[in-house]
Amino acid sequence: MSDPRPIGVFDSGLGGLTVVRAIMDDLPAEPIAYVGDTARFPYGPRPAEEIRRFAVQIAQYLLTLDVKLIVVACNSATSAALDQVTAAVPVPVVGVIEPAVRAAVRATRNRRVGLIGTEVTVSSGAYQRSFAESAPDVEMTARPCPRFVEFVERGDTTSVELLDEAHRYLAPLQDAAVDTMILGCTHYPLLRGAIRHVMGPDVLLLSSADETAADVYDILAAKGLLSEAVERPVHRFASSGDPERFAALGRRFLGPEVAGALHVPFDEA
């Protein structure tokens, strides 16, 4: 049986499109309904309570589009609101933390793993709890890198200022001799080159995007919810901010699949 309903994906802005890229690569027959909450971006410095409210509101909007599964494609929203979103909707919900932790636990040889993310992602302790539950022998070193998101938003992936900041942010992870590092923010895969340059080729960089896509495949397959369509699916993109700006930047994050975007006025809701 084939299920043609879309997979709902949301993020505080454009970063979640790195997760969409991975889902489209693994599941090219699946239509995607994406919401970027750009009017209220960034989530990283916001209180967890506020992020919970936003995340549940967006998940409920996605239900009106008849989604069959929801991906919280934002580390900040997963850290603060995964349980609340799961409780609020009748469809399966996938966050970006568990898949990344699982991959890191599998990959690390010296049992020292680094995590970089936004302030709320690091301070919520969500990654720390996940490691403590699944692999208490792994020593995790976490570092918030709030300015990385600004650089990505400016399209700056190579400047001297960025590299100086990367050296500063990543020094504690180098001191901790991590052999595996989680890019715990959906923007960071776009800084992979700079981060690899600073950390060196021996540190494995894991993005939550690829691991999350694998989880989405497994859940849809287990529940008999995969689409078996052979024609190209129609994707929908929506943003709470300027939809034209979203579509233009979205093409940089994802590619030509972002043909246009709708405006959903969450800020006024």
Q: How many residues bind ligand DGL (CB under 6 A)?
A: 17
By the rule CB under 6 A, 12 interacts with ligand DGL: yes
Active site residue 145: no
| Core vs surface per residue 78-107: b (16+ CB within 10 A) or e | bbbbbebbbebbebbbbbbbbbbbbbbbee
Terminal alpha carbon distance of the chain: 37
3-state secondary structure of 22: helix
By the rule CB under 6 A, 42 interacts with ligand DGL: yes
**Rounded (5°) CA angle 147-152-154:** 95
Segment 192-251, which members bind ligand DGL (CB under 6 A)? none
Between CA 73 and CA 68 the distance in angstroms is 15
By the rule CB under 6 A, 75 interacts with ligand DGL: yes
Choices 6-14, 52-60, 128-136, 197-205; region in contact with ligand DGL by CB under 6 A: 6-14
By the rule CB under 6 A, 54 interacts with ligand DGL: no
Handedness of CA 128, 131, 137, 138 (dihedral sign): negative
Which of 74, 104, 152, 213 is flagged as catalytic? 74
By the rule CB under 6 A, 186 interacts with ligand DGL: yes
Ranked by CB distance to ligand DGL, the top (closest) residue is: 44
Q: Footprint of ligand DGL on this chain (CB under 6 A)?
A: 11-13, 15, 41-44, 74-76, 118, 121, 149, 185-187
